[in-house]
Amino acid sequence: IISLGVRRIYPHRDLDEYYKLLKNARSIDITGYSLRGFFQSHENTIIELSKRKGFRLRIVMVDPKSESSRSREVVEDGRITGQFELGYNKILKNFGSLNGVELYTIPFALSTMIFRIDNIMYVGPHFVKEASKTSLTFKLDSSGPAFQQFQDEFEALIQKGKRIPLDTANPSDSKLD
């Protein structure tokens, strides 16, 4: 496991160590459905990081109007609450004008959460019957092949995704397919 680059396995998603790593991050990739926890925990940090030259944040979200997103919202919240679309709109509104931020949507389900902060990556499954915040999370470093395999998956999601223009602070101006 160590030779693959797996450094640790956690029983949940929201980890205290994210804060330390994000503080000085230059490059971040993240996938999600609503990214509520990410937004609530790290909004101010992302705003500050975006002021730095060379900062890059790439976000891949499942289109909140897609059937995949609606199905996942039922798993996460017990019913369709509109929170996934609200999360998308918050990301669009609050990160849309920031330097170095790119947002992509995909119309299909995510099998895996990917959260890369520079050369450290956290990955974990999206189980069918369990909220993602309670799912296992694997910490990977760039020394092993697991890191590159998940980075390649992230790049494939971007290639299959639709880039959303972020030059507006009004989420209703960005049309979702």
Instruction: Report the distance separating Cα 64 and Cα 31, nearest Å.
Output: 13
Q: What does the alpha-carbon distance between residue 70 and residue 33 come to, in Å, rounded to a whole number?
A: 10
- Please compute Rg for the chain using Cα positions: 15
Three-class DSSP category at 134: helix
Structure-token pair, residue 13: 């998603």
User: What pLDDT sits at residue 174?
Assistant: 43
- Residue 171: the pLDDT is 46
CA distance 88 to 69: 11
pLDDT tens digits, 8-58: 999 998 889 999 999 999 999 999 998 988 999 999 999 999 999 999 999
Residue environment code for 137-157, b if the CB has 16+ CB neighbours within 10 A, otherwise e: bbbbeeebebbeebbeebeeb
Name the token pair of 111: 């099998």
**Whole-angstrom distance, CA of residue 161 vs CA of residue 77:** 25
pLDDT digits (tens, 9 = 90+) for 52-97: 999 999 999 999 999 999 988 888 877 888 888 999 999 999 998 8
Give the global pTM. Answer: 0.90
Instruction: Please name which of 72, 93, 94 lies closest in space to residue 83, comparing C-alpha atoms.
Output: 72
